[in-house]
Structure 1
């Protein structure tokens, strides 16, 4: 069964635009759990332009589903992970000023660094996931780091899907199959939506988890959070 983890960064973006605590990020996360989300994802960045480090600590005290913290494993991020001990840390190679994550790791070139980070995560009993593309050699290198999972970067799939769904998903099928053969779990995220998630899920039975934020929060402006989460879960066969 594929789990749905909802990324709540966009909720924090709206809050930060006006200051104060509206919308209440912690309450939205609790409501998402109540509405059927299998987990909550956050991606704190050093400038705290959306999720703040304080949010992460506060969420860790109240969440009952899986907590996934994404980010570039710089010193402040790793200190946060050590303190919070989430279910999963997803390692993403984005620059501090990146608008959004737009590429996966080149694992071979960063092998020693990533292996050391993953050793730390395992010492803290945190599941380690590496954000990658569909290059098969890169996934083989990811397995050698000792990572538990890879998260497949799905923006290329989402971009091609309207023109040619089958061609869009082909490389992801191959990547997921190889990851499973190597003992890796398979997550996916970036630009997945109600339009394209069902096809992606049907094509990739190896999928353990999807992390979805921007599209889900945007669709909830029309449908409401509860109905939107229900539709995503139906797209995942639940």
Structure 2
């Protein structure tokens, strides 16, 4: 397994180093308990944001990053993009509350090596880590099912499938109630560019407001009703 390597100077085996990125402390604690039961897992680290993950990835070079899809602040799309750009060898596994289209495909396009839903069991989580460490892409059972259904003849497509990855990012921030200047700051783009994306999204989806976007996202299962 590529993630397990030997320290040539000290002659010892270094196990898989894992970084957990989630803004919920209880989720991080649960993942840590699972990882600690595996003899192949070495150091386990935790951060609560995509911004912190980028800094940690650069300085400490974890082998695998378990990244929450629903991060506040910097989106999981942008975080994955930057993590992989900084270190092509890092394996990012997305942990999501659901596997609705087009999330799995878009996250893999950004460089993620795995996609799991948070209701997966411990065995599947460890299987995903082993797979990505062996340079194999891992798609969880629920995500694989959704991907298979999406290509069946006669299957109705989600209107969100027509959005680009960047448009998806902006759309999600709009449904979270973020204003254009805030989104621009988080995505490192100009407010004018974000405004252009906003009205392009409205045009593609046939919506007129953030409320319309929120209702449509909930109707197609991209967001959970609170």
Q: TM-score, normalised by structure 2?
A: 0.34
Q: Rg: which structure is higher?
A: 2
- Higher RCO (CA-CA < 8 Å; seq separation 6+): 1
Q: TM-score, normalised by structure 1?
A: 0.32
